[in-house]
């Protein structure tokens, strides 16, 4: 049924998780001195995967396309940067709940206003709120203006006097991010398969009908908006820890657009698709950046090609791999291949039927 | 049937610009009856039912449900008060299976956004009720079939099942047999007949055979006004009604 996928999805995801999670073991032997750099990239991909997944709840599950999701991503980053003491490490035990709380309040306020709109108006209002915060932060002296805020010390995870996790160690930080991604994934899987998730599916398919059944659809959308915003803020906080600063660019519509592209590439509404999308996007970005300075052209063409060939993204390819018959039907592949289908269109009789 | 009407309208009027779609309609439904609304296309039947379910608000007059006006209440509030409706267009959730469709409909009584997380016992009850209404609608064998994979007739039956699952005290059915073949029409007529002793129904339908077989009372509408309203036998014998239906066709044929 809905949000139930073939077994191979779980197998593929678990294999990929195992490959990524064991990177610190096999990375150094395979890549040598490059390994540290790749681990850093992997950490970033994991963080972006969490971000993309959070947006999927809105875009893929409910069908509300937001172009302002970076608002929460950046908010998470700035909350950490501004709340951290300047010459000391903050405690993650405090920072994580604080970031989530700030994001929840912000999402509640923004959500109350934008949730009344639909379609293009939802896109525009979310974009507007995102840009409002962007210009507020990039001109605010307390937030460092366009330079952003540096985080001198990564937050620590301590229990009493002893350090539980040394997040300055790139490997430990990598595993923290990976753990957050897995936790976020399990949470969203549970959520979309719960009764609450079924209502969201119903809203996606036919909001009017849900109201006629007696559902307060606005409330459901608002709760989903808040959950989505909170998860995005956690991703933003991790990104700020990774980079060591919070920057206005993390708030801008560019970031919102990029994460949407990850969703499209990965497959919307599947929760696991955006994870694949984030990794695919970042790998493509890395390759294209090295090929040419005009990499956005290549990226744009790739996204267009992806939409044409894989309308349901990478996830769609895994859920329902196209059979041979379907491949033959594809106008793109047919033109490439030699096996043209026989011209089975009968020649129409020139004289119209005179029976009627 | 002299009890207090469950639903009543007084001077109900709705204008769309210069068009008066529903004109000064007094209409009532008593508990346990099937009240059918008949009328040619454009007579204002659908507008009337939309007024009753609160999907549009009246220009004048009011709708009383259990003696209380529904004016100013949202569609979902009215639905929760116990008015369940089906739409003329098939309006199901195609990606969910039959059982899930009915559970989704029944779960509104679990309360609130977070109600869905609350009680396992109530969820159990909702499932039982959903299976029950599927049984009533002869869809029990389809419980785990995705709605999208069913025939059109079955989808229409599912739509009725979903309304039943909300446990309404009044059901508004907008052309439940629309677009159905002969056999399916008979099937749905039988289904509605089996509901008569437990539910109160307002039925809009074009299929004359079904209407005369099912209805206790019939209101005939023409051009937004009530032409005649009364027990089925009275309408069957009415000269006025015959003139409108036969006269129209006659005019059209000669025009």
The candidate with the shortest Cα–Cα distance to A9, out of A264, A211, A272, A209, is A272
Domain boundaries, chain A: 7-336
Chain A residues near residue B100 by CB distance under 8 angstroms: 1-2, 198
Claim to verify: residue B42 and residue B145 sit in the same structural domain: no
Q: Which of A234, A276, A249 is nearest to A96 (CA)?
A: A234
Interface confidence, given as ipTM, is 0.81
Question: How far away is chain B from the Cα of A208, in angstroms, using its nearest Cα?
Answer: 9
Tell me which residue in B95, B107, B108 faces A201 most closely, judged by beta carbons. B95
In the prediction, which pLDDT does A66 show? 94
Q: Is B95 on the interface with A (CB under 8 A)?
A: yes
In this prediction, the residues of chain A whose per-residue pLDDT falls under 70 are 1-2, 324-356
Antiparallel, parallel or unpaired: β B60-65 and B68-69: antiparallel
* Predicted local confidence at residue A79, as pLDDT: 94
Task: For chains A and B, count residue pairs whose Cβ atoms are closer than 8 Å.
Answer: 74
Q: Are residues B115 and B174 in the same domain?
A: no
Q: What is the CATH number of the domain that holds B36?
A: 3.40.50.300
Residues of A with Cβ-Cβ distance to B164 under 8 angstroms: none
DSSP states of A84-148 as a string?
S-TTSPPBHHHHHHHHHHHHHHHHHHHHHHHTT--HHHHHHHHHHHHHHHHHHHHH-GGGTGGG-
- Tell me: the pLDDT tens digits for B162-209? 999 988 999 999 888 888 888 888 888 888 988 888 899 999 988 788
In sequence order, the 6+-apart residues with CB closer than 8 A to the CB of B46 are B88, B174, B204
8 A C-beta contact, residue A47 and residue A176: no
* Closest in B75, B96, B166 to A201, CB measured: B96
Dist. CA B128–CA B126, nearest whole Å: 5
pLDDT of residue B253: 46
Structure tokens of A281?
Answer: 């996007």
Which of A4, A111, A213 to mutate against chain B (most B CBs within 10 Å)? A213
| Residues 170-209 in A contacting B (C-alpha not used; CB under 8 Å) | 194-196, 198-199, 201-202, 205-206, 209
Residues of A in contact with B125 (CB under 8 A): none
Residues 33 through 62 of chain B touching chain A, CB cutoff 8 Å: 53, 55
* A1 in contact with chain B, both atoms CB, cutoff 8 A: yes
In 3D space, the residue among A214, A298, A251 whose CA is nearest the CA of residue A129 turns out to be A251
* Alpha-carbon span A192 to A335, nearest angstrom: 40
Rounded Cα distance, B103 and B122, in Å: 11
Residue B202 CA to residue B163 CA, distance in Å, equals 13
Is B116's CB within 8 Å of A195's CB?
yes
Chain A residue nearest residue B165, CA to CA: A213
Interface test with A, best of B56, B83, B89, B93 (most A CBs within 10 A): B93
pTM greater than 0.80 (yes/no): yes
CA distance B235 to chain A (A): 32
How many Å apart are CA B156 and CA B148, to the nearest integer? 12
User: In angstroms, rounded to a whole number, what is the distance separating the alpha carbons of residues B49 and B113?
Assistant: 28
Q: Choose one of B137, B167, B197: the last residue of a domain.
A: B167
Q: Tell me whether A211 touches chain B (CB under 8 Å).
A: yes
Contacts of B112 in chain A (CB under 8 A): 216, 219
What's the gap between Cα A60 and its chain centre? 10
Q: Which domain holds residue B140?
A: 91-167
Residues B245, B233, single domain; the answer is yes
Give the largest CA-CA distance in chain A: 96
Please tell me the distance in Å from B142's CA to the nearest CA on chain A.
Answer: 14
What confidence tens digit (pLDDT) does each residue in A152-171 have?
A: 888 888 877 777 888 889 99
Residue A302 to chain B, least CA–CA distance (Å): 30
- pLDDT 10s digits, A38-56: 999 999 999 999 999 999 9
Q: Which residues in chain A are closer than 8 Å to B76, comparing Cβ atoms?
A: 211-217
Does B119 contact chain A (CB < 8 Å)? no
**What stretch of H or E contains B35?**
strand B34-38
Contacts of A217 in chain B (CB under 8 A): 76
Domain count, chain B: 2
In chain A, the residue whose alpha carbon lies closest to the alpha carbon of B90 is: A209
Residue A352: per-residue pLDDT:
47
Choosing from B135, B167, B199, the residue where a domain stops is B167
- Residue B23 shares a structural domain with residue B135: no
8 Å CB contact of B105 and A205: no
Low-confidence ranges of chain B (pLDDT < 50): 1, 250, 252-255
- pLDDT confidence of residue B182: 84
- For residue A322, give how far its alpha carbon lies from the nearest alpha carbon of chain B (Å): 20
Assign domain A7-336 to a CATH class: mainly alpha
Q: What is the largest CA-CA distance in chain B?
A: 65
A194/chain B closest Cα distance in angstroms: 8
Residue B186 and residue B126 in one domain = no
CA distance A221 to A214: 15
Q: Which two tokens stand for residue A95?
A: 């920072």
CB contact under 8 A, A209 and B93: yes
Among candidate residues A170, A13, A140, A33, the one with its CA nearest the CA of residue A78: A140
- Contact call for B53 and A217, based on CB within 8 A: no
Interface check for A299 against chain B (CB to CB < 8 A): the answer is no
Secondary structure class of B200 (helix, strand, coil): coil
**Residues B241/B220, Cβ–Cβ less than 8 Å:** yes
For residues B43 and B150, state if they share a domain: no
The CA dihedral of A81, A84, A89, A95, to the nearest 10 degrees, is: -90
Among residues B132, B167, B202, the one where a domain terminates is B167
Please judge whether A202 and B104 are an interchain contact, meaning their C-beta atoms are less than 8 angstroms apart: yes
The pLDDT value recorded for residue A195 is 85
């Amino acid at each position: 049924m809905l949000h139930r996928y073939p077994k191979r999805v779980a197998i593929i995801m678990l294999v990929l998780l195992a490959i990524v999670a064991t990177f610190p073991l096999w990375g150094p032997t395979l890549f040598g001195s490059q390994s540290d750099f790749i681990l850093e990239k992997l950490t970033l991909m994991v963080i972006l995967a969490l971000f993309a997944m959070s947006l999927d709840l809105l875009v893929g599950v409910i069908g509300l396309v937001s172009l302002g999701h970076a608002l929460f991503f950046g908010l998470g980053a700035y909350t950490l940067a501004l709340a951290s003491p300047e010459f000391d490490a903050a405690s993650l035990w405090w920072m994580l709940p604080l970031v989530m709380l700030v994001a929840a309040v912000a999402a509640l306020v923004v959500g109350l206003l934008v949730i009344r709109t639909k379609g293009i108006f939802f896109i525009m209002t979310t974009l507007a709120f995102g840009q409002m915060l962007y210009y507020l932060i990039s001109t605010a002296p307390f937030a460092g203006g366009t330079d952003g805020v540096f985080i001198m010390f990564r937050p620590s995870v301590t229990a009493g006097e002893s350090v539980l996790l040394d997040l300055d160690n790139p490997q430990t930080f990598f595993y923290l991010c990976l753990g957050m991604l897995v936790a976020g994934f399990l949470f969203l899987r549970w959520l979309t398969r719960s009764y609450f998730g079924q209502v969201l599916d119903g809203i996606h398919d036919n909001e009017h009908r849900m109201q006629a059944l007696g559902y307060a659809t606005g409330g459901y959308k608002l709760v989903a908006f808040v959950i989505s915003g909170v998860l995005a803020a956690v991703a933003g906080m991790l990104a700020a820890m990774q980079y060591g600063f919070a920057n206005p660019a993390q708030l801008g519509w560019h970031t919102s657009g990029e994460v949407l592209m990850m969703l499209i590439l990965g497959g919307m509404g599947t929760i696991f698709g955006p994870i694949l999308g984030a990794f695919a996007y970042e790998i493509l970005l890395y390759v294209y950046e090295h090929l040419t300075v005009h990499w956005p052209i290549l990226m744009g063409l790739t996204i267009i090609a992806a939409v044409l060939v894989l309308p349901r993204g990478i996830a769609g390819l895994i859920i329902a791999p196209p059979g041979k018959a379907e491949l033959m039907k594809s106008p793109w592949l047919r033109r490439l291949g030699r096996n043209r289908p026989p011209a089975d269109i009968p020649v129409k009789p020139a004289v119209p039927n005179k029976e009627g | 049937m002299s009890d207090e009407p469950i639903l009543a309208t007084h001077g109900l009027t709705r204008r769309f610009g210069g068009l008066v779609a529903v004109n000064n309609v007094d209409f009532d439904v008593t508990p346990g009856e099937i009240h059918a609304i008949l009328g040619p296309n454009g007579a204002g039947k659908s507008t009337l039912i939309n007024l009753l379910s609160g999907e549009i608000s009246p220009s004048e007059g009011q709708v009383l449900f259990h003696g209380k006006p529904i004016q100013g209440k949202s569609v979902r509030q009215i639905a929760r008060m116990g008015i369940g409706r089906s739409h003329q267009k098939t309006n199901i959730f195609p990606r969910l299976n039959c059982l899930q469709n009915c559970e989704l409909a029944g779960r509104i009584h679990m309360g609130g956004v977070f109600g869905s997380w609350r009680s396992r016992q109530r969820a159990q009850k909702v499932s039982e009720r959903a299976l029950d209404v599927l049984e009533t609608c002869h869809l029990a064998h389809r419980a785990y079939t995705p709605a999208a994979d069913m025939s059109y007739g079955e989808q229409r039956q599912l739509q009725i099942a979903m309304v039943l699952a909300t446990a309404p005290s009044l059901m508004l059915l907008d052309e439940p047999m629309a677009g159905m073949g002969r056999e399916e029409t008979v099937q749905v007529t039988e289904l509605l007949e089996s509901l008569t002793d437990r539910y109160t129904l307002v039925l809009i339908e074009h299929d004359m055979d079904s209407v005369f077989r099912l209805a206790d009372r019939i209101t005939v509408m023409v051009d937004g006004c009530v032409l005649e309203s009364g027990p089925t036998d009275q309408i069957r014998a009415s000269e006025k009604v015959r003139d409108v239906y036969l006269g129209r066709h006659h005019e059209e044929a000669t025009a």
